[in-house]
Structure 1
Amino acid sequence: MDLVYWLMLLKAPRIGTRTFYKILKVFETPEAVFLASESERKKSGLFRQETLKFLTQNDTSLVQADLDWAQADGCHILTLIDKDYPEQLKTIMDPPPILYVRGDVACLSKPQLAIVGSRNPSVGGKQHAYDFAQLLAHLDIVVISGMASGIDASAHIGALEANAQTIAVCGTGLDRIYPAKHKALAHQISTKGALISEFCIGTSPLANNFPRRNRIISGLSLGTLVVEASIKSGTMITAKLAAEQGKEVFAIPSSIHNPLSQGCHQLIKQGAKLVENIDDILDELQLNLPIQKNNSVISTKESNDHPSVLLKYLSYNAINIDEIVERSNLSPQVVTQELLLLELEHRVVRINGSSYVLTK
């Protein structure tokens, strides 16, 4: 029954997270709010007229959809006082009073690192997100992101393909998937890790929900890695929130000609840790983690074993294979062979059939 009161109080009009906590300071529990007399509620000065009317009606049918959802396998509703509510999230200024979780609740309390970035990244940016997620997964660090297109999705996929857990923080109720094209990805995440949200069942993907959920992404994490971002973006909001929460902020630099490098470069100027490889993150977090000896790549430094003669002709902007042949004065056969080796080392990616870009 306690859960019903938590859900009901958060359903009340004009009650957001901060107001919710002000109310708890006076009434101590959500149940006490509903058991109090109307005069006691008015005397507190915490409630507007429409809120008082809602509390008087005490219509529990309004939360029945949430309660029904929680009866399904793998579905949980955690309040701030539940033992499974993640301690890391309690440290931020305004932790969500309630978390809806679909999947493994225990993974919320494991060491996590956020990987965030543009919804429309470069090929190299997507590869960075995937590679770093894989490396973190091999070190038993849970990758957390927002399941958006682009960098978020690449990070989740990288972790999943490393057979590891990953967490997606959603800006909707967990009965809905946004974007809809990520329905299969959401299923994989909830099966292996967890989908979480502070929004009640039935909540649509409203624009204001996504900046709000970003504080949960950064709040659950030990640090936030920004892969690619424009100056004015949700990614930069997440990085700002992470800094305000006292968390580490990491950023991957890129070409000055890449507009998506501007956010990362600004963060580095402001004090974010410049990241070239996984060691830069681990050194800053000072985690005592076992190195996986069977992992083929622990540091991106170690991946650069092949001293290819083509590197001087390649960049983070796409270049056609014919142009590489012309610039290098090498035969097409040699160029093709070198590019194949670089592809196998994940140092270049082929795009549009015959063009290549550096990924690291």
Structure 2
Amino acid sequence: MASLVPGDTDALLVLALSGGPLRPLRTLLDQCGDAAHALSATATAWRKAGCTPGQCRALATPDAAALERAQCWLQHPRHHLLGWHDPDYPPLLRDSSNPPPALFVDGDPTRLWRPAIAVVGSRNPSAGGRDNAREFAAALAAAGIAIGSGLAAGVDAIAHQTALTGDGGTFAVIGTGPDIAYPRHHGPLQEQVAANGAVVSEYPPGTPPRGGQFPARNRLLAALTLGTLVIEAAERSGALITARLAAEAGREVFAVPGSIHNPMARGCHRLIRDGATLVTGAGDVLDEVANLAGELAGALQKRLHAPIQSDPEAPLPAPPPPDPDYQRLWQALGHDPTGMDSLIERTGLTAASLSSMLLVMELEGKVSAAHGRYTRI
């Protein structure tokens, strides 16, 4: 049986396992300052924050088996728990309408800071829809844009698979616990995405697939990305839910037109009639999200205490920001592609720190990345 060791991580797990509405849990965290103090607060404080009776019971008496499963999952070095007050909590998600108080991430959490486009569509796309999904995902990844999707069959899977071979990377937002693949045969793909990008869920390890969790998952995907691109969708489609949520979150919505005789294009045509941007190539998408991508880059630079270039016309200086770790990384980089393992060995820094600094250098145009290897520009 698991015992609750005093500490913020275990307390945050208990909050995440309590279920129910999310707003009271965020309120409780804001009022108490951190998860440990939130969990040790009185039942009166929990009720005052808006917690339901069921949440109060779960906070008072945590599910020992579920807690132990989550604790065991977190022991893997690739597994992370991002809390509401964690400085690595994705800024785009924090600013959305109903963000979760905790995120379970299998992979690199900095992927959730990278400018990304959600690519979604039919689970049974036409041959043309498959081609479009590959072409858009490949072009966006080549431009350094991450591809976000939901790891579903069809367009989602094609987008992830294509992005895994590009420079932008990919992340998946799933509607199960981070240790459960759905559909089940996507287990190998989920492992690939986690190993080379990130798999993110608001649901604790062990959470099985349930119908209502997938529309909820879509709001996270919409919030974590600069815009949502719908490749193909019928008139009643989960992809249209993601598009609607993206619009409600103030994100761009893009739709690829198709034949008027293709039933899988009718959802896209409806989106275009309702105000979505008609796109015929990745350049159309990139032009629309450039400003928001710049804002996200600024947020990341602020998070990492890196100076922001004030004059966009001024030439970028050759050395990185005047920080010892950046200087060490800059010296470790060369003009030949260098892998992460070599950079860790040369600098003595952690993979997480290096990933964050390399992303800043990419955004500043000092470093190029291809197939997991980094080069000075």
Q: CA, structure 1 residues 279+39, in 2 after alignment: closer, same or farther (shift >3 Å)?
A: closer
2:12 counterpart residue number: 6
Q: CA, structure 1 residues 57+128, in 2 after alignment: closer, same or farther (shift >3 Å)?
A: same
State the SS of the aligned residue for 2:81.
Answer: strand
Residue correspondences, number = 287
The answer to which of 99-108 and 19-28 deviates more is 19-28
Superposition deviation, residue 41 in structure 1? 4.3
The answer to which of 49-58 and 177-186 deviates more is 49-58
The answer to which of 79-88 and 200-209 deviates more is 79-88
What runs of 5+ residues in structure 2 fail to find an aligned partner? 1-6, 295-377
State the SS of the aligned residue for 1:161.
Answer: coil
Superposition deviation, residue 16 in structure 1? 2.1
CA distance in 1, matches of 2:157, 2:186: 8
Q: Please say which structure displays the higher CA radius of gyration.
A: 1
Q: CA, structure 1 residues 265+66, in 2 after alignment: closer, same or farther (shift >3 Å)?
A: same
- The answer to whether 1:229 aligns with 2:228 is no
CA contact (8 A) 1:34 1:58 kept: no
CA contact (8 A) 2:140 2:168 kept: no
2:60 counterpart residue number: 56
1:65 counterpart residue number: 69
Superposition deviation, residue 237 in structure 1? 0.4
1:91 counterpart residue number: 95
CA distance in 2, matches of 1:86, 1:38: 30
Q: CA, structure 1 residues 40+128, in 2 after alignment: closer, same or farther (shift >3 Å)?
A: closer
2:257 counterpart residue number: 253
1:35 counterpart residue number: 40
Given candidates 197, 202, 210, the residue that maps to 2:206 is 202
1:310 counterpart residue number: none
State the SS of the aligned residue for 2:147.
Answer: strand
1:21 counterpart residue number: 26
Given candidates 210, 216, 223, the residue that maps to 1:219 is 223
CA contact (8 A) 1:228 1:263 kept: yes
The answer to which of 97-106 and 236-245 deviates more is 97-106
State the SS of the aligned residue for 1:281.
Answer: helix
Superposition deviation, residue 99 in structure 1? 1.1
TM-score by length of 2: 0.71
Q: CA, structure 1 residues 22+106, in 2 after alignment: closer, same or farther (shift >3 Å)?
A: closer
- The answer to whether 1:149 aligns with 2:153 is yes
Q: CA, structure 1 residues 2+223, in 2 after alignment: closer, same or farther (shift >3 Å)?
A: same
Write the letter of the residue equivalent to 2:115. Answer: P
CA distance in 2, matches of 1:129, 1:181: 20
CA contact (8 A) 2:24 2:51 kept: no
2:119 counterpart residue number: 115
Superposition deviation, residue 158 in structure 1? 1.3
CA distance in 2, matches of 1:160, 1:34: 40
CA distance in 2, matches of 1:205, 1:25: 30
CA contact (8 A) 1:8 1:62 kept: no
1:178 counterpart residue number: 182
Write the letter of the residue equivalent to 2:129. Answer: G
CA distance in 2, matches of 1:56, 1:108: 32
Matches within 5 A, 1:197-346: 197-286=201-290
Cα-to-partner distance string for 1:305-330 (whole Å, 9 max, x where unaligned): xxxxxxxxxxxxxxxxxxxxxxxxxx
2:351 counterpart residue number: none
CA distance in 1, matches of 2:210, 2:170: 24
Q: CA, structure 1 residues 142+38, in 2 after alignment: closer, same or farther (shift >3 Å)?
A: closer
What runs of 5+ residues in structure 1 fail to find an aligned partner? 290-360
CA distance in 1, matches of 2:59, 2:191: 37
State the SS of the aligned residue for 1:284.
Answer: helix
CA distance in 1, matches of 2:88, 2:49: 33
The answer to which of 59-68 and 269-278 deviates more is 59-68
Write the letter of the residue equivalent to 2:154. Answer: G
TM-score by length of 1: 0.75
State the SS of the aligned residue for 2:207.
Answer: coil
Q: CA, structure 1 residues 47+99, in 2 after alignment: closer, same or farther (shift >3 Å)?
A: closer
Superposition deviation, residue 131 in structure 1? 0.8
Given candidates 81, 85, 103, the residue that maps to 1:81 is 85
1:311 counterpart residue number: none
Superposition deviation, residue 22 in structure 1? 3.8
Superposition deviation, residue 246 in structure 1? 0.3
Superposition deviation, residue 58 in structure 1? 5.0
Q: CA, structure 1 residues 175+116, in 2 after alignment: closer, same or farther (shift >3 Å)?
A: same
The answer to which of 112-121 and 160-169 deviates more is 160-169
CA contact (8 A) 2:222 2:242 kept: yes
State the SS of the aligned residue for 2:164.
Answer: helix
Identical counterparts, % of pairs:
41
CA distance in 1, matches of 2:21, 2:53: 16
Superposition deviation, residue 60 in structure 1? 5.5
